[in-house]
Structure 1
């Protein structure tokens, strides 16, 4: 009762200080000791978890993820890959053809809770455990397990002997306790999508062949040579929600000093055609951390490992696995994307299954900015590829709302473009609406307020509202929870006393603030801003952009009245006759993902009257 009262007191203090609802999250401490037998690719292990119930609920059961069980013929991942319209080519039907020596498995040999045996059952990739004694609010229970795993051949993320010859890509490799939050348990079967984990500390000892070089999450605390030609690698990681590692017999291990005492580790194959690119990218990686620290918030850990391995690029706390046989720019691009996941998922630990766009999309947005600086492109809008991909998805008719659970998208195409591109555009449009001087400090505030927690989409939008002073719930609701599209057009230009009456039309279902550029025959350019009625910010937001190309937006006359979303048309007047107007363009900087830009530009043609399309 005392612990529960303390929890309530903390929540009340939190409410008084921040005005937020009471926030809590569970905590774990993993202590794992595993032995790898590379002859049969099996891993035997002991795992002790101290699980602290910080919720106000009594816990009567717990769930574990047993990810390796997905790599068996007939598994949910196997069937899903063979029945979805556009399977991932890395998976396709490969799982269905694995033999007993190639499959993956995780077998629980024993499980005790506070010294008492627990009842449990394995359902595919999920272990359900009935606790011999409930875990009360504020209490900690110790879960002790013995397990045996077989590392599958490399197919998706985890595995052995990938296509580049890396011996072990050890991700999703241990029985991992599922997360319990205010929405309850999240024991999602593994079908190849996203992850969600409990914040905690890891103490991991890996014993393997003495010639295997190992790197991964956290810091190496000790490396012990054993008498039986094995080595034990002892790693520790604090305040993370997963642990990954990789091992190979031919790894080169380089290090670079990063900002704020960070040590960056690079593990890659000792092959002549790889060494040049992997050496070149190291200084760029240091710059990457510097840019991210100043733009989005400081990286809080003291180590990061980039390991050649896996099946593409996949992020984990303080580490990423990347296939390494790439061109320089490809290698840099993948490293940039995966490292930035350290901010969006590894520090801001959203539930990726529910909010994959807050993970992949936010990372894609930041990647565009960082790559633009690293390659000195100096473009105002480095997100045009994301916009183009999103428009193609809309045109395909396969778009699904961003609020769709990651596992339940009907196509990989829709999942990929939605999570990466549409998620990135979510931030770009917000950046364009608010301007750099508001948007980027607000992003850093979001980072500082929610790091090492599990923020939701509503948590994010509230931070942006508080920092901008405008209403933004309409934006979240329209862009994330619907398939509504943005499409504006110039409909008509009419002569009237003292100038011209310009009529714009809203063809798409979603309303947005827009800019209008008018170019006169003389070459003079006029800019107008039409605010969104939903913002409740008077005549609009006074934006400030840093990029020279967008300086003109800092001085736009923002006196035009807002455009109510219910109105299909909007009219305003200019003090120039139609014959003096050469071009009218809506959204000249592509600040919105307008799905049909053919009606955005109206050009006067010689000898033709200037009237609407």
Structure 2
């Protein structure tokens, strides 16, 4: 590894300085990281896939009656900085669910009240969760710890602790901490917990924060990135190694991050399962009795042989094969378009009935899908099951391998993942089908593709927050949800401007440069700009939507098509001025028209002896975006012009032998960011078909569908 800065040798005179926290309102980063950030790009020739900063050895025991996990943990952490460290900070994520005084619940009461969101179930007596940190030792010396609030959250939030070390960790040195903990799982509120005998054990162990160095994600000095557990946020951690043993009742099935090490070991009425996985940054597992498994595998260039397993309850046996197929297809698609899948396992879990909040959650090599019964071809259930499976697998790249900071820049995971998932669904030609009468009522032909559905729920007309905003400084849960759909829509439009092959190459380069590291939004912009060779186009999209809240709303305000007739008045003929009165002019026009009609008895409306002048007026009510204007005429001929300047309005004039029938902006439907597609077209003669096609009532109908998809 090439360090960001040379680590000086520790001396007796080295005095630890207090390392600050990352800003409680940190969001999009504008300064690209240093080339050597996080040790520089991984070439594949290093001894390990990632620069392993931390390792965990955990022994855990599940009490399925009390829904508790008791654990002993040995954590070894390496100080990458150029200075000694006297205190470290750990996440106790599970304390988000201990009561209404946590940062999570404090924000939930505000954000969820202003929009649809997951994680809003009522918590009844006995259903809260927490994690109690017990003793912490450093080389046998007991250490003191206390709760801290890096983001200025309520004093009743206990999701971050500070541990003061008995001995400082020198620059480049390591420290090993031994600790025990007791985790009370909540009934599933959001992403973790139990329902009946089913246990999804996530965010369950003390987890060290990230010490960022100068040149990494905009840092100018070392800082602890260790945010409280916010309502809309997820996670961020260093890469490392996990060696975990879980003891559960012998009739329980277990699935987890990583590779299972042999058969479970009997211990009386229990079994101890052993899983190991390196080069990941989190660990989760599930345990439940009576679950079934379905196995498959993937083999492809650059990847090891991947064992793929689906774990499912009997009531959702119908989901097992579709989830297995979508998982294997996802490995193939992401491997071919971004980079080879580097791990040897992938486990997908179908949650049981009444545990929907446990579905749609991702961890490295391990995710929970959704549950549907029945799942018939070309139905909404089939689409949703495949969508969620592909989406949660995709997190294995954008959250897992690219390891972006989901606290501060959720767009890099949720948004980019949504975009890439939609690309895969588009390649599969997978559409949304609803009942035919509903579609016919709105004048729309089924089916619709994934990107069209994304734009319908993106709140494009009035975006409240930049896409690059952090997870918690948002107007509402609904506006946070647009991180998914609006990012996918913005990337779709950028792809249309750059070209599909260019966009795919740019993302492949981004992945190659930044996998097993921690890129920022500025790193994404720099990578796309360099790879595409069109930095101005990339910069415009980022300024308008990632760093800002611009909207696009171009419209055709008027189309007029009139005959160009001879004009009354005086003119010079044979050297003399002659006068043509209105009556004489009208008579001459009618005579010429009669003669032409007799010669053309089958002529189409809009044709005749005189040319037609068509004027189309376009208006711009939002940000500038390159547009194409298409005008169609009575003889089915078309004229197209480019509107690619900063004028707020423009008029385009066409003189042709025939009358115009219609005008349309964006005829190839490339600009999905346009907030109102209804006003993109006009006809010379009134036609209400467009309003049926693009009615706002139809968009509201689909909002219900995407309530599920928008927060996965």
Give the alignment's TM-score, normalised by structure 2. Answer: 0.72
Q: Does the CA contact (< 8 Å) of 2:555 and 2:665 recur in 1? A: yes
Q: CA deviation at 1:389?
A: 0.7
* Structure 2 residue aligned with 1:506: 620
Name the counterpart of 1:126. 160
Partner of 2:590: none
Q: Distance in 2 between matches of 1:578 and 1:300?
A: 64
Deviation at 1:226, TM superposition (A): 2.6
2:645 alignment partner in structure 1: 563
1:205 Cα shift?
0.9
- CA 1:220/1:582 → structure 2, altered by over 3 Å: closer, same or farther? same
Specify the alignment match of 2:665 in structure 1.
586
SS in 2 for 1:134: strand
Task: Give the Å deviation of 1:6.
Answer: 4.5
Secondary structure at the residue paired with 1:205?
Answer: strand
Question: Per the alignment, in what secondary structure is the counterpart of residue 543 of structure 2?
Answer: helix
Measured after TM superposition, the shift of residue 583 of structure 1 is 2.2
1:337 aligns with 2:337: no
Q: Distance in 2 between matches of 1:487 and 1:3?
A: 48
Are the counterparts in 1 of residues 296 and 307 from structure 2 also a CA contact under 8 Å? yes
Residue 370 (structure 1) aligned with residue 453 (structure 2): no
Q: Relative to 1, partners in 2 of residues 1:398 and 1:596: Cα closer, same or farther, differing over 3 Å? A: closer
Displacement after TM superposition at 1:131 (Å): 2.5
Residue in structure 1 matching 2:544, options 471, 478, 490: 478
Q: Per-residue deviation at 1:488?
A: 1.1
Establish whether residue 230 from structure 1 lines up as the match of residue 270 from structure 2.
yes
Residue 282 of structure 1 and its aligned partner are, at CA, apart by 2.2
Measure how far apart 1:241 and its partner are: 1.0
Equivalent of 2:636, from 523, 530, 552?
A: 523
2:475 is equivalent to residue 410 of structure 1? yes
Q: What residue in structure 1 maps to residue 675 of structure 2?
A: 595
Matches within 5 A, 1:131-530: 131-161=165-195, 165=196, 167-181=198-212, 182=216, 183=219, 184-193=223-232, 194-260=234-300, 261-271=305-315, 274-309=316-351, 311=357, 312-328=359-375, 329=382, 330-374=384-428, 376-377=430-431, 382-390=450-458, 393-395=459-461, 397=462, 399-416=464-481, 418-470=482-534, 471=536, 472-491=538-557, 503-508=617-622, 510-530=623-643
Residue by residue, what CA displacement relative to the aligned partner does 1:508-567 show, whole Å, maximum 9, x if unpaired? 1x222223323232223444444xxxxxxxxxxxxxxxxxxxxxxxxxxxxxxx413xx3
Q: Please report how far the alpha carbon of residue 394 of structure 1 lies from its aligned counterpart in structure 2 after TM superposition.
A: 4.5
Aligned to 1:42: 68
* Structure 2: runs of 5+ lacking an equivalent: 9-31, 40-51, 149-157, 376-381, 433-446, 565-610, 687-712
**Superimposed CA distance per residue, residues 466-495 of structure 1 (whole angstroms, 9 cap, x where no aligned partner):** 122112223212101222101112345689
Pair 1:73-2:105 in alignment = no
Residues matched between the structures, number: 550
**Contact 1:78/1:93 (CA < 8 Å) preserved in 2?**
no
Distance (Å, rounded) in 2 between the aligned partners of 1:314 and 1:403: 22
Match of 1:556 in 2: none
Structure-2 separation of matches of 1:440 and 1:355 = 22
Query: Which 10-residue stretch deviates more, 514-523 or 262-271?
Result: 514-523
Determine the structure 2 residue equivalent to 1:15: none
- Cα pair 1:222 1:235 within 8 Å, conserved: no
Match of residue 14 from structure 1: none
Instruction: Map Cα deviations across residues 219-249 of structure 1 (whole Å, 9 max, x no partner).
Output: 1013332342211111111111111111111
Q: Deviations over 1:240-261 (max 9, x none)?
A: 1111111111110111111331
Query: Which structure: larger Rg?
Result: 2
Q: CA deviation at 1:353?
A: 1.6
For residues 3 and 508 of structure 2, the distance between their equivalents in structure 1, rounded to whole angstroms, comes to: 33
TM-fit CA distance, 1:21 = 4.2
Report the Cα distance in structure 1 between the residues aligned to 2:35 and 2:82, rounded to whole angstroms.
Answer: 14
**TM-score of the superposed pair, with normalisation by structure 1:** 0.82
Flag the structure with more relative contact order, 1 or 2, with Cα contacts below 8 A and sequence separation at least 6.
Answer: 2
| Contact 1:32 1:203 survives alignment (8 Å) | yes
SS at match of 1:408: coil
1:187-210 per-residue CA deviation (whole Å, 9 max, x = no partner) reads 222233221111111111111111
SS at match of 2:349: strand
Q: 1:259 to 1:115 in 2, by over 3 A?
A: same
